[in-house]
Amino acid sequence: MTWSSFEQFRAITDRNVLRLQEEKQAGRKVVGQYCIYTPMELVLACEAIPVSLCGTKNDSIATAETVLPRTLCPLIKSSFGFALEDSCPYLAASDLVVCDTTCDGKKKMFELLAQRKPVYVLELPQRQDEEGLAYWQKQLELFKAKLEEHLQTTITEQSLWQAIDLSRRFRAALQKVLDLGKRKPSPLTGLELLEIAFRASFMPVYEECVEELENMAREIAASVIAEDTHKPRILLTGVPTGLGSHKVISLLEECGASVVCIDNCSCYKKVRPLPERQGDPLALLAKHSLPIPCAVMSPNPGRYETVAELAREFSVDAVCDLTWQGCQTYDVESVSLRHFVQDTLSLPFLQIVTDYATSDSEQLRIRIQAFLEMLA
């Protein structure tokens, strides 16, 4: 199906790079971020633009492998390849790049990246308890000071609350669109859900982004849904995906499944609602971001809670766990997740370990088809 609001969103987001350059020429600062643990609200409070950075395409991997080991995960290689080639316009526009200490591969890659770009390393704890939270809040204070110094601005309590309100509206609008997948059948394909979340993450003007997402949610929600197609409904969980690293979502849907929810940091993990406005805004941001259930956390109870909740809310028939080759944390966590999904949720589970290249597409297709045969 086509919707005019979706077409308009595509047309507007096609101009993301141009728009970012215009904003930069008008004096706005740009802060690139690799990870959603970085609270974009702090950047917004500086009246700077938080943007995602490229890292979802296979093209830059060969370049990265002139420096990095081949066995590293494709996400790290792709990101670094873009930096080596200077081919990511968002990275090029960034006045500062925030790098969270998530996994070991990323931490060490950031050291190499720091030779090329002004990098700020945000020290993420690996525990989500009280001590971890206190530590994280302290790190956010340091990050705030760094932003103020680097961008020569002051973040006031008022500007931070305003940024939090904007971010709250952005998350809510994105959630409205992604929640369309709860309908039976989902009006949007998994690939479309991915495309929308991906394009939105590069939009420099957040107010406009909120408006476009709201328009889409409204138009698509009002459209008449064709009769149920009985496609198996899949919850995709695991590593980040974007345009260029969407291979498994495409294969699932080519084989007849409907990916109704994408539980990763490029999609549904972004919409976790912010708590109500109270107390210290920085404490609120720390409390909101630290519980993100990324596999770098140990233990990571939120991963299982989230998968259970999304499986129920999106009425899924099965769970597919995507792991990038070389991503140790997600690969190991998949062992426990398999038991949880099969034994506690009583749902079929498939882990796919792959990279961005298409060389294994046919082998993966067989696994996916066999998995869908199991559900029939």
Partner 1 sequence: MSQHYAIGIDAGSAQTKAILLDTASLTLLAKVALPTGWNPKASAETACAKLQEHCAKPGTSTIVATGYGRVAIPFADKNITEIACHAKGAAHCFPQADLVIDIGGQDSKVISLQKGGRVRDFLMNDKCAAGTGRFLESVARLLGLSIAELCALAVCDKACTITSMCAVFAETEIIGLLAKGATPGAIAAGVLTSIAKRMHGLAARMPRQGDCVFTGGLAQSPVCAEVLSRELGYPVCVPDNPQFTGALGAALEAARLAKEQKQ
Binding site for partner 1 (CB under 8 A): 325, 342, 348-349, 353-354, 359-360, 362-363, 366-367, 369-370, 373-374
Nearest approach in angstroms of CB 224 to partner 1 is 33
Shortest Å, Cβ 65 to partner 1: 17
Nearer to partner 1, 158 or 363 (CB): 363
User: Which residue, 148 or 360, is less far from partner 1 as judged by CB?
Assistant: 360
Neighbours of 39 (CB within 10 A): 28
Nearer to partner 1, 212 or 331 (CB): 331
DSSP class per residue in 297-366: SSS-HHHHHHHHHHHHHTT-SEEEEEEETT-HHHHHHHHHHHHIIIIIS---EEEEEE-S-STTHHHHHH
Single-letter code of the amino acid located at 199: R
Could you give phi then psi for residue 32, rounded to 5 degrees? -85, 145
Residue 163 or 364 having the CB closest to partner 1: 364
- Identify any residues that bridge with 349 across adjacent strands, giving them in sequence order: 319
Nearer to partner 1, 149 or 362 (CB): 362
Which CB atom, from 243 or from 374, has the smaller least distance to partner 1?
A: 374
- Distance in angstroms (rounded) separating the CA atoms of residues 186 and 184: 5
Please state the φ and ψ torsions of residue 116, each to the nearest 5 degrees. Answer: -115, -30
Closest CB 292 distance from partner 1, rounded Å: 29
Smallest separation, CB 371 to partner 1 (Å): 8
Cβ-based neighbour number of residue 2 at 10 Å: 5
Residue 339 Cβ, how far from partner 1 at the closest point, in Å?
10
Give dist(CA 50, CA 277) in Å, integer: 22
Residue 49 CA neighbour count, 13 Å, CB half = 31
Q: Residue 160 is which amino acid? A: L
Closest distance between partner 1 and the C-beta of residue 333, in Å? 15
